[in-house]
């Protein structure tokens, strides 16, 4: 009895990660911390490495490779202990994965957490914009991190709707669709443009995967409704979307003409230039975050970049930042931590393409690296605590859920 209760708490903490991730300041760290502390029980459970299948091990290897590679780069780059904190999460999440692979049942709670998290995020965004008068909703985080996480929660809520639809749980189906709108709404109110790019790209992927779930008439109504909502969001001035789009276009044009290099877009271009200059000087291992200060000052003296770009600690692009600070080797490890989990989840989606009890969890898992690969175009997500935590832990959660769903299907097939 106590063992089952403990396992239930493990899944509750996982669901809590989503539920209060950005709706509560630093909420993402509460469930993850409790779950990591719970993983100490592995000393009693004593899982065996041989019990893991090859795909489990590939995910472990990918996280270990990225975490240890970051440790190596930190050692090379004027070693500072505090820099070990964020990459260490990719290693510390491994015992959490092993714990959840031991913890039966309750994986459905992940969907509840996702939906609640998206709705809470939107409620907080509305409060900050309408009551507190903030120009951008941020929920105690950087507005970009808040908006991008909200967008991911919204998309995960849409995937939750596929699970509830196939299980004919219509109340939660309605709530999950509301959660999808709320997550997107939180992103809109954060005025974080980078996350908006993910909506059409990943949205097409989601609709394609779900095309056979409902009839054509429903899809037509859904498409018309979605387009109408999108147009409304753009046209309503209070959302700030149209203004942000116009601002982006204007900034790009002005930068191209050699003026206004200190706009948000102009500074990004300047930071990207600096990162590429560093990559040219150190293409294999990069210039290093701390060691690059000398090089950046040289670029400034030579008039290659705008002085305002030097106050930022990263290049506001995950890929370019990796190239500048860690070179080709660093970029390769970044792609590993993106593509290995993505490939594993897509493999499960293809293997169980008509079994939504498994496919829904696999699709949610695939969305996490897909979202981050998009968000990384305009932000260095792994430079923030929330960025690391809301990547590594959700991947582990959904992977454990997929593996348990597989075991359930196997048990059903052998029962007959």
Number of helices followed by number of strands (H, E) in the chain: 17, 0
Phi, psi of 373 (to 5 degrees): -65, -30
Give the mean pLDDT of 219-238.
Answer: 71
H or E element in which residue 261 lies:
none
Task: Kindly list the distances between the CA atom of residue 412 and the CA atoms of 25, 166, 245, 416, in Å, as whole numbers in the listed order.
Answer: 42, 18, 52, 7
Predicted confidence band at 242 (pLDDT cuts at 50, 70, 90)? low
Most confident of 35-44, 153-162, 191-200, 214-223: 153-162
CB atoms under 10 Å from CB of 66, counted, come to 23
- How sure is the predictor about 307, in pLDDT bands with cuts at 50, 70 and 90? confident
277-287 tens-digit pLDDT: 999 999 999 99
Q: Among 4-18, 107-121, 129-143, 261-275, whose mean pLDDT is lowest?
A: 261-275
Contact of 186 with 164, CB cutoff 8 Å? no
pLDDT at residue 393, rounded to an integer? 98
CA distance 194 to 181: 18
pLDDT at 396 over 90: yes
Cα distances from 142 to residues 192, 381, 384, in angstroms, run 10, 11, 9
Q: What is the pLDDT of residues 7-38, one digit of tens each?
A: 899 999 999 999 999 999 899 999 999 999 99
Confidence of residue 240 (pLDDT cuts 50, 70, 90): low
Query: Mean per-residue pLDDT for 92-120?
Result: 95
In this predicted model, what pLDDT tens digit does every residue of 119-132 receive, in sequence order? 999 999 999 999 99
Q: Which value, to the nearest 10 degrees, does the dihedral of the CA atoms of residues 83, 294, 306, 324 take? A: -50
The CA distance from 107 to 400, in Å, is 8
Q: Once rounded to an integer, what is the mean pLDDT over residues 141-145?
A: 93
- The whole-angstrom separation of Cα 107 and Cα 104 is 8
Q: pLDDT per residue over 214-223, tens digit each?
A: 777 777 777 7
- Give the pLDDT score at 52: 92
Say if residues 14 and 100 touch (Cβ distance below 8 Å): yes
Using a pLDDT cut of 70, give the percent of the chain over it. 95
The CA angle 372-288-197, to the nearest 5 degrees, is: 20
pLDDT in tens, 318-372: 999 999 999 999 999 999 999 999 999 999 999 999 999 999 999 999 999 999 9
Phi, psi dihedrals of residue 236, rounded to the nearest 5°:
-70, 115
As a whole-number percent, the residues of the chain with pLDDT over 90 amount to 63
How far are the Cα atoms of 232, 335, 361 from residue 186, in angstroms, in the given order? 16, 28, 23
Question: Is the pLDDT confidence value at 416 over 60?
Answer: no
Please give the Cα distance from 10 to 99 (Å, whole number).
Answer: 8
User: What pLDDT, on a 0 to 100 scale, did the predictor assign at position 197?
Assistant: 84
**Rounded Cα–Cα distance for residues 395 and 114 (Å):** 13
Give the per-residue pLDDT at 364.
Answer: 98
Q: Which SS3 state, helix, strand or coil, does residue 274 take?
A: helix
Q: Which pLDDT band holds residue 415 (cuts at 50, 70, 90)?
A: low
Q: Residue 283: what pLDDT? A: 95
Region 303-316 average pLDDT: 82
Among 41-55, 140-154, 173-187, which stretch is predicted with the lowest mean pLDDT?
41-55
Q: Mean pLDDT score of the chain, rounded to an integer?
A: 90
The predicted structure's pLDDT at residue 207: 87
CA distances from residue 260 to 224, 251, 274, 306, 318 in whole angstroms, order as listed = 39, 7, 17, 10, 24
Comparing 226 with 357, which gets the higher pLDDT? Answer: 357
Q: Lowest-pLDDT range, 31-35, 116-120, 209-213?
A: 209-213
């Amino acid at each position: 009895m106590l063992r089952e209760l403990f396992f239930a708490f493990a899944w509750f903490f996982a669901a809590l990660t989503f539920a209060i991730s950005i709706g509560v300041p630093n909420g993402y760290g509460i469930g993850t911390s409790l779950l990591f502390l719970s993983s100490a029980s592995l000393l009693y459970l004593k899982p065996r490495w041989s019990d893991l299948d090859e795909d489990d091990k590939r995910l472990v290897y990918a996280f270990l490779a990225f975490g240890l590679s970051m440790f190596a780069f930190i050692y090379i780059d004027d070693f500072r202990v505090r820099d070990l904190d964020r990459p260490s999460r990719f290693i510390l999440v491994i015992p959490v994965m092993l714990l959840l692979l031991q913890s039966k049942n309750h994986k459905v709670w992940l969907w509840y957490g996702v939906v609640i998290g998206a709705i809470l995020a939107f409620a907080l965004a509305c409060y900050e914009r309408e009551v507190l008068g903030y120009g951008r909703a941020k929920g105690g985080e950087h507005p970009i991190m808040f908006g991008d996480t909200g967008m991911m929660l919204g998309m995960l809520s849409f995937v939750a709707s596929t699970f509830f639809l196939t299980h004919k749980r219509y109340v939660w189906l309605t709530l999950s669709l509301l959660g999808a709108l709320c997550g997107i709404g939180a992103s809109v109110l954060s005025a974080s443009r980078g996350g908006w790019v993910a909506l059409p790209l990943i949205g097409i992927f989601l609709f394609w995967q779900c095309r056979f779930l409902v009839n054509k008439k429903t899809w037509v109504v859904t498409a018309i409704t979605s387009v109408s909502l999108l147009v409304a969001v753009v046209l309503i001035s209070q959302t700030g979307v149209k203004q942000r789009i116009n601002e982006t276009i204007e900034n790009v044009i002005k930068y191209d003409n050699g003026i206004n290099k200190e706009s948000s877009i102009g500074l990004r271009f300047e930071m990207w230039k600096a990162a590429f200059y560093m990559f040219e000087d150190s293409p294999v291992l990069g210039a290093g975050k701390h060691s690059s200060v000398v090089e950046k000052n040289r670029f400034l003296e030579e008039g290659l970049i705008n002085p305002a770009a030097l106050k930022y600690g990263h290049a506001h692009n995950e890929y370019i930042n990796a190239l500048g600070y860690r070179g080709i080797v660093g970029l390769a490890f970044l792609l590993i931590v993106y593509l290995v989990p993505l490939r594993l989840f897509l493999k499960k989606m293809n293997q169980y393409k008509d079994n939504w009890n498994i496919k829904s969890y696999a699709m949610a898992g695939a969305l996490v690296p897909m979202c981050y690969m998009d968000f990384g175009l305009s932000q260095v997500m792994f430079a923030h605590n929330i960025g690391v935590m809301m990547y590594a832990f959700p991947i582990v959660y959904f992977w454990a859920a997929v593996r348990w769903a597989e075991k359930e299907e196997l048990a059903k097939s052998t029962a007959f």
